[in-house]
Amino acid sequence: MTNRIAFQGDPGAYSHQACTKARPGMEALPCQSFEDVIAAVRTGEADLAMLPIENSTYGRVADIHRLLPESGLHIVDEAFVRVRISLMALPGVSIDEIDTVRAHLVLLPQSANYLKLHGITGISAADSAGAARELAESGARNEGVLAASLAAEIYGLEVLARDIEDHGHNTTRFVIMSREPDYTRRGELEMMTTFVFEVRNIPAALYKAMGGFATNGVNMTKLESYMVDGSFTATRFYADIEGHPEDPPVRRALEELEYFTNSMTVLGVYPAAEPRHL
């Protein structure tokens, strides 16, 4: 055991924040890409992977549905992080001195009202935490960064304003993945099961496949489709349902699903996180 949890991005990224929140006793290991995060766990460099899967404003994270089934890893938990945007600058710099801010492209429109109010121009960056690191190195007094407040702590910047996002509902959902599955746990609230499947090429296959969940009273909280290898005929579906595969209704629904599919793979069974019920 390394007691490390891998994430994508620079230290101070929102994925890093998710690691410190969900696994405060573990060392967070930064990686350049999602593929590197997965590789770190598969090779034993880390024990767990923290991967963003969807955002309440922007939908699913690009490529993540393709990566998870091929990763060889298993979902063992989920975590939700509210995207709270802080404006940070070099120590001693006032808001009046700042004329530009750098941030990941998705953060700029979320804080458009605040930037307009203060006459600040937003410039997109590949990574907000990386932009914070670069600002600390550059010493530019007319620049700021929009990022998680954790980035300011790490790079010695000063937070000039917190929670400047235009809307307070923006949340990212992460999944925590391990080399081994764990079907023994039972959550205090309920269990979630995540799986991918490919329907058979017959009329109404998806409709028939979904029928088992309806007749058995199993709640499906997520169903998304995506192409496999660029094919217009081989469509794969990603699904989240409430319940455990050993629960009789879930077991019956999955058995019926298999009858109408070419393949079905369970990616993880894990306790539902509390934010689902807030």
User: One of 34, 43, 100, 172 is an active-site residue; which one?
Assistant: 172
Question: Strands, E, within the chain: which ranges?
Answer: 4-8, 27-31, 48-55, 59-60, 74-82, 86-89, 100-104, 121-125, 143-147, 158-161, 171-178, 191-199, 220-228, 231-242, 261-271
Tens digits of per-residue pLDDT, 129-149?
999 999 999 999 999 999 999
Hey, what are 205's tokens? 């296959």
For residue 189, what pLDDT is reported? 73
**% of the chain beyond a pLDDT of 70:** 97
- Whether the domain at 4-83+170-178 and the domain at 86-161 fall into the same CATH topology: yes
* Confidence band, pLDDT 50/70/90 cuts, at residue 205: confident
**pLDDT tens track for 212-230:** 999 999 999 999 988 776 6
Q: Which of 7, 174, 195, 260 is catalytic?
A: 174
CATH classification of 191-277 is 3.30.70.260, yes or no?
Answer: yes
Helix (H, G, I), strand (E, B) or coil at 84: coil
Average pLDDT over residues 186-204: 86
The DSSP bridge pattern shows strands 59-60 and 86-89 to be: unpaired
Per the listing, tokens 């192409």 go with 227
Orientation angle between helical segments 248-259 and 205-215, nearest 10 degrees = 170
What CATH code is assigned to 4-83+170-178?
3.40.190.10
- What one-letter code names the amino acid at 226? Y
pLDDT (mean) for 250-263: 93
Distance of CA 139 to the CA centre of its chain: 32
Catalytic residue check, 232: no
Residue from 183, 190, 184, 195 nearest 257 by CA: 195
Burial 114-138 (b: 16+ CB within 10 A, else e): bbeebebebeebebbbbbbbbbbee
Q: How far apart are CA 71 and CA 208, in angstroms?
A: 29
CA gap 118, 20 in Å, rounded = 32
Query: 86-161 is classed in which CATH architecture?
Result: 3-Layer(aba) Sandwich (3.40)
Q: Is 174 a catalytic residue?
A: yes
Domain boundaries along the sequence of the chain = 4-83+170-178, 86-161, 191-277
pLDDT, average across residues 16-34: 96
The pLDDT tens digits for 87-114 are 999 999 999 999 999 999 889 998 999 9
